Amino acid sequence: MNTKTKIIFGESGKDFILDILGKSVDNEGFIIEKNNPKVRVQTPEGREITKDQLAVIVKGSQKFIAGDLTSLMKLSKGEL
Amino acid sequence: MIDLKKFNGIIPQSKIKDIYDYSIKLDFSTGGSKCYQISRSDKTLIINVNNLPLKEKKILKAIIIDSIDNDKAILIANSRTELLDKLYKYNDSNDNQILSFFKPILSNKDWETLRDSLFLRNEFKKHININNLKLDIKTRYGERGNTISNLCTAGYFEEIMIPLYNSSKEDFWAYYDLALDMGITALFVNAKMKIDEIRYEIKRRLYLGKKYGLQYIHIHGIGKKNIKNINDCIKQEKGNLNFTEKHLFTDKSLNVLIVELIL
């Protein structure tokens, strides 16, 4: 974490972030693949994630992580 | 870490060398004409995205994609940066001992709830508002999670359950089931509970506690209103039910009350 740059975004920046990562949001608020809208993005724990829940995106295959205590705890312990 | 030289065109190179380890904040507010600001107090480079010309916006997008794909950066919502920073730093030796003890004993789900609850307790001890953390635990783990969190905050895991497990695994599991599955070993009164509900929950615990051979139950309350309600309910029930009360902990300055009802 310390060696990585933090790129911080607010609520109003989520659409911008999702757009450049090739994602969109369906009519129920879930994050989906822009080029395959039937596919909802999943967290590393296998849960579908809404734009409202989205709090962290990390490396490689672009892990989308919710902002609740358990998700962030697992992220901080390297479990995600 | 992102090589800020890539921001050439957005920020003059002369300014970059001082801020190589800064966080980057994407600002989408409108107004002003600046493309960037440097906040030295927060060690943050603020990019005013809406003020960037198209070409520079493309550069920014490319930097973000590259930095995520190559693990040079973490994208994080402003509202969660403080919590995540705290979690990375959180390393309490007492809490670690409790977690190590229970790791081979509890289910993975209960253990994870306990880990979250110990962090919550740590924050509570620092007088930090824990309402959102409590809600996170309840949302993820339901009423069982809420009970684990309450028991953890009140010290039950290290003060009652560890000694119990060390003396008798059978007694531990009997207690754990009563505490978690039936939720009868302790009542945590919150401000949303009405007098009738508190009385009902006390009566239910006294009845089931006797039925399952418990020697006592505990009633916990924080805050003037909760403490008054608990005392009123105990006074009302004392005539009807057979128990002895013992005030285990009363702190008027902290507004904390723990009463033991001996069955």
Question: What value of ipTM does the predicted structure carry?
Answer: 0.91
Average pLDDT over residues B159-171: 94
Which residues in chain B have Cβ-Cβ distances shorter than 8 Å to A9? 25-26, 75-78
B29 inside 8 A of chain A by CB:
yes
Report chain B residues whose CB lies below 8 A from the CB of A59.
68-71
Q: Please tell me the least confidently modeled range out of B225-229, B233-237, B249-253.
A: B249-253
pLDDT (0 to 100) of residue A61: 65
- Nearest residue on chain B to A21, alpha-carbon basis: B65
Mean pLDDT (whole number) for A42-59: 94
What six digits make up the tokens of A18? 């999702």
Q: Tell me: the pLDDT tens digits for B106-133? A: 999 999 999 999 999 999 989 899 999 9
Query: What's the gap in Å between the CA of B174 and the closest CA on chain A?
Result: 28
Q: Residue A2 — pLDDT band, cuts 50, 70, 90?
A: low
Inter-chain contact A69–B79, Cβ cutoff 8 Å? no
Rounded Cα–Cα distance for residues B173 and A29 (Å): 42
Rounded-to-integer distance, Cα A40 and Cα A62, Å: 14
Q: What is the pLDDT of residue A1?
A: 56
Contacts of A69 in chain B (CB under 8 A): 83, 116, 119-120, 133, 136-137, 140
* Whole-number Å distance between alpha carbons of A63 and A42: 8
Place of tokens 């008798």: B168
- What does the pLDDT average to over B13-19? 81
| Structure-block tokens of residue B137 | 């635990």
Chain B residues inside the 8 Å CB shell of A17: 26, 64, 75
Decide which of B135 and B256 is more confident.
B135
Res. B85 pLDDT band, cuts 50 70 90? very high
SS3 B94: helix
Helix (H, G, I), strand (E, B) or coil at B236: helix
Taking an 8 Å cut-off on Cβ atoms, the answer to whether B75 and A59 are in contact is no
What distance in Å separates the CA atoms of residue A59 and residue A75, rounded to the nearest whole number? Answer: 12
Which chain A positions have a beta carbon within 8 Å of B141's beta carbon? 70
Measured between CB atoms, does A49 come within 8 Å of chain B?
no
The average pLDDT across B19-39 equals 87
* Residue entry with tokens 């670690």: B96
Q: Do the Cβ atoms of B73 and A13 come within 8 Å? A: no
pLDDT tens digits along B42-80: 899 999 999 999 999 999 999 999 999 888 999 999 999
- Phi/psi for A34 (5° steps) reads -65, -40
In angstroms, the separation between the Cα of residue A38 and the nearest Cα of chain B is 23
B129 close contact with A: CB closer than 8 A: no
What residue of A is the nearest CA neighbor of B29?
Answer: A12
Most confident of B30-39, B146-155, B248-257: B146-155
- φ, ψ at A8 (rounded to 5°): -100, 135
Query: Within 13 Å and on the Cβ side, how many CA atoms surround A8?
Result: 18
Is B216 a residue whose pLDDT tops 80? yes
Contacts of A54 in chain B (CB under 8 A): 77
B24 confidence band (pLDDT: 50, 70, 90): very high
Q: Which two tokens stand for residue B206?
A: 């006294």
Strands A54-58 and A63-66, by their bridges, are antiparallel
What is the percentage of chain A residues whose pLDDT exceeds 90? Answer: 85
Which string of b and e fits B67-82 if b means at least 16 CB within 10 Å? Answer: bbeeebbbbbbeebbe
Residue B11: what pLDDT? 84
